[in-house]
């Protein structure tokens, strides 16, 4: 046998192939390197990014709110250096121009991008569409912005969690203020789940409190002109107008409300609005009484809220809108829960979301086990008489409900909500 070469005639080595010692050493080194590197290769697989799906509108009438919702989500991720349990995390953001596309994009996120969870659904109709995909594909889903009751009520499911209080909670906070201004109400709402929910809950409230609804209209989403509706409202002479048009539609309505000289003549009130809706109206036309979920100047904001507000200001050079906070809070609860679950297994993430908590002053913010609705307080806010700061429109009057027991009562009992959750 030669010292430096071996000729093999059997096995994998072809006849006539000269196997030199250097080749053998090289091959052996390669094998050894493979064995030694194995744990690192396995770790590299574990180090593949965890993907979180985000569905916020990039087009349509809710796009202004959606921009802030998305920015809040990104800050939640950046605050943990884009990592969970040592693995990088990526956000995949898809559009929701209408409920059908929201549903298709939720399916894409699950099937193509293999996301561990989804956060999004700026309008209730979008959130309901995404929620159905969450149930079908067993994907954890957090809806930070949608307010229609069904989401955590009759259409609830084990995989869907909601941050914004539902319409009846907003109504019970705002309606007493409206009733104090008069008991003849005109209700003008959008012609979809959110608006219809508002119409029902405010009608129920005022009729139960001895008042009347002197007129009501359901307006198509994205209507460019409200003059015909405003003329009807003017003719009906109500004490208060209850609005239920969202985002860009509210901005358009308020501009035309002012343009037609109605600002200050008949009080206008609406629930669940965003800073951006009013910022777009401008100081000359802004008017109304509202419920909002968060306010960057609230002295009761938690240290985490303040840290978020500072991070937002640093990154975007403007105060954080309430919608940015909602996007942040929704994404934070999802990321925290994936970390708590210690895996991307959907059942474990759902269980972690069910036990996720955050102390907010004297109350604990958490998703209730029986309907996955987060309990939190709301702010009742009017508009400053004179607006001197282009970001500071709200004149906050109260933070309600007051006690933890009042909050429980306002959000409703398991029997009253009627959510049939189902198994994992």
Partner 1 sequence: MLEMLASQAVNGLVLGFLYVLIAIGLSIIFGMLGIVNMAHGAFFALGAYLALMLSNQFGWGAALLAPIGTGLLGMLVEKVLIRRLYGKEPLLGLILTFALALLIETLLRRFFGGAAVPFSTPKVLSGFFEYGPILTTKFRIIVLCVTVVAMVTFWAFISFTPFGRIIRAGSRDPEMVGLLGINLPVVLNFVFGVGCLLAGLAGMLAGPLQTVTPTMGGPWVMPAFVIVAIGGLGSYPGAIVAGLAVGMVNAMSVQFAPDWAGVAMYALMAAVLVLRPRGLFGEKWERFE
Q: Is 319 in the site for partner 1 (CB under 8 A)?
A: no
Do residues 232 and 203 lie in contact, with contact meaning Cβ atoms separated by under 8 Å? no
Query: Which of these segments, 137-145, 206-214, 276-284, 301-309, binds partner 1 (CB under 8 A)?
Result: 276-284
* Four-point Cα dihedral 139, 142, 148, 150, nearest 10: 40
Judge residue 182's burial from the number of C-beta atoms within 10 Å of its C-beta, 0-12 exposed, 13-18 middle, 19 or more buried.
Answer: middle
Residues facing residue 52 across a β-bridge = 91, 117
Q: Is 249 in the site for partner 1 (CB under 8 A)?
A: yes
Among positions 76, 281, 350, 419, the unique one binding partner 1 when judged by CB under 8 A: 281
Nearest CB to partner 1, comparing residues 197 and 217: 217
CB of 60 to partner 1, least distance (A): 6
- Name which of residues 292 to 311 contact partner 1 (CB under 8 A): none
Judge residue 289's burial from the number of C-beta atoms within 10 Å of its C-beta, 0-12 exposed, 13-18 middle, 19 or more buried.
Answer: buried
- Name which of residues 205 to 234 contact partner 1 (CB under 8 A): 217-220, 222-225, 227-229, 231-232
Among positions 95, 239, 259, 392, the unique one binding partner 1 when judged by CB under 8 A: 259
CB of 283 to partner 1, least distance (A): 7
CB of 148 to partner 1, least distance (A): 19
CB of 385 to partner 1, least distance (A): 18
Among positions 13, 31, 235, 404, the unique one binding partner 1 when judged by CB under 8 A: 235
Nearest CB to partner 1, comparing residues 49 and 283: 283
Number of residues that bind partner 1 (CB under 8 A): 42
User: Cα(377)–Cα(169) distance, rounded to whole angstroms?
Assistant: 10
Nearest to 322 by CA among 358, 296, 359, 299: 296
User: Cα(139)–Cα(18) distance, rounded to whole angstroms?
Assistant: 57
Do residues 15 and 2 lie in contact, with contact meaning Cβ atoms separated by under 8 Å? no
At 91 the three-state DSSP class reads strand
Among positions 52, 55, 63, 122, the unique one binding partner 1 when judged by CB under 8 A: 63
Angle at 360 between CA 372 and CA 71, to 5 degrees: 75
Q: Give the x-and-dash track for 343-362 against partner 1 (CB under 8 A).
A: --------------------
Q: Give the x-and-dash track for 129-158 against partner 1 (CB under 8 A).
A: ------------------------------
CB of 296 to partner 1, least distance (A): 15
Phi, psi of 398 (to 5 degrees): -160, 160
Residues with Cβ within 8 Å of 37's Cβ and at least 6 positions away in sequence, in order, are none
Q: Is 280 in the site for partner 1 (CB under 8 A)?
A: yes
CB of 285 to partner 1, least distance (A): 6
Do residues 90 and 27 lie in contact, with contact meaning Cβ atoms separated by under 8 Å? no
Residues with Cβ within 8 Å of 39's Cβ and at least 6 positions away in sequence, in order, are none
Residues facing residue 366 across a β-bridge = 357
CB of 23 to partner 1, least distance (A): 56
Among positions 260, 363, 396, 421, the unique one binding partner 1 when judged by CB under 8 A: 260
Record the tokens describing residue 276, joined without a space: 């951006």
Nearest CB to partner 1, comparing residues 225 and 345: 225
CB of 302 to partner 1, least distance (A): 26
User: Cα(421)–Cα(168) distance, rounded to whole angstroms?
Assistant: 20
- Name which of residues 32 to 61 contact partner 1 (CB under 8 A): 59-61
Positive or negative, the Cα torsion across 409, 373, 418, 169?
A: positive
Nearest CB to partner 1, comparing residues 68 and 356: 68
Omega before 400 within 30 of 0, i.e. cis: no
- Name which of residues 180 to 209 contact partner 1 (CB under 8 A): 191
Record the tokens describing residue 38, joined without a space: 């194995």
User: Cα(312)–Cα(300) distance, rounded to whole angstroms?
Assistant: 18
Query: Which of these segments, 30-38, 272-280, 306-314, 337-345, binds partner 1 (CB under 8 A)?
Result: 272-280
Site of interaction with partner 1 (CB under 8 A): 59-61, 63-64, 66-68, 191, 217-220, 222-225, 227-229, 231-232, 235, 248-249, 251-252, 255-256, 258-261, 276-277, 279-285
């Amino acid at each position: 046998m030669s010292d430096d070469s071996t000729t093999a005639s059997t096995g994998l080595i072809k006849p006539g192939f000269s196997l030199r010692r250097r080749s053998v050493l090289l091959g052996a080194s390669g094998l050894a390197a493979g064995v030694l590197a194995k744990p690192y290769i396995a770790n590299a697989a574990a180090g593949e990014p965890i993907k979180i799906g985000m569905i916020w509108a990039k087009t349509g009438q809710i796009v202004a709110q959606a921009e802030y919702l998305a920015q809040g989500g990104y800050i939640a991720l950046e605050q943990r250096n884009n990592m969970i349990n040592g693995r990088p995390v990526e956000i995949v953001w898809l559009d929701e121009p209408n409920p059908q596309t929201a549903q298709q994009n939720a399916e894409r996120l699950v099937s193509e991008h293999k996301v561990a969870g989804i956060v999004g659904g700026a309008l209730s109709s979008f959130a309901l569409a995404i929620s159905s995909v969450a149930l079908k594909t067993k994907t954890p889903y957090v809806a930070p912005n949608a307010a229609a009751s069904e989401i955590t009520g009759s259409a609830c499911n084990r995989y869907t969690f909601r941050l914004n209080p539902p319409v009846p909670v907003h109504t019970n906070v705002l309606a007493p203020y409206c009733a104090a201004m008069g008991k003849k109400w005109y209700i003008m709402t959008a012609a979809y789940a959110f608006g219809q929910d508002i119409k029902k809950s405010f009608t129920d409230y005022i009729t139960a409190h001895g008042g009347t609804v002197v007129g009501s209209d359901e307006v198509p989403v994205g209507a460019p002109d409200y003059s015909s509706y405003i003329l009807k409202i003017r003719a009906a002479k109500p004490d208060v107008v209850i609005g239920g048009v969202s985002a860009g539609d509210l901005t358009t309505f308020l501009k035309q409300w002012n343009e037609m000289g109605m600002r200050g003549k008949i009080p206008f009130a609406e629930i669940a609005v965003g800073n951006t809706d009013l910022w777009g109206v401008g100081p000359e036309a802004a008017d109304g009484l509202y419920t909002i979920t968060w306010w960057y100047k609230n002295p009761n904001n938690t240290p985490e809220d303040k840290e978020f507000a500072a991070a937002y200001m640093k990154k975007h050079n403007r105060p954080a809108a309430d919608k940015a906070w909602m996007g942040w809070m929704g994404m934070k609860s999802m990321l925290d829960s994936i970390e708590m679950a210690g895996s991307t297994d959907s059942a474990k993430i759902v269980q972690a979301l069910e036990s996720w908590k955050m102390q907010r002053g004297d109350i604990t913010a958490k998703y209730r086990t029986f309907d996955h609705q987060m309990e939190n307080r709301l702010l009742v806010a009017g508009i400053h008489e004179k607006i001197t700061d282009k970001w500071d429109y709200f004149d906050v009057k109260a933070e309600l409900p007051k006690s933890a027991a009042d909050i429980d009562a306002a959000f409703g009992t398991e029997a009253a909500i009627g959510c049939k959750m189902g198994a994992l």
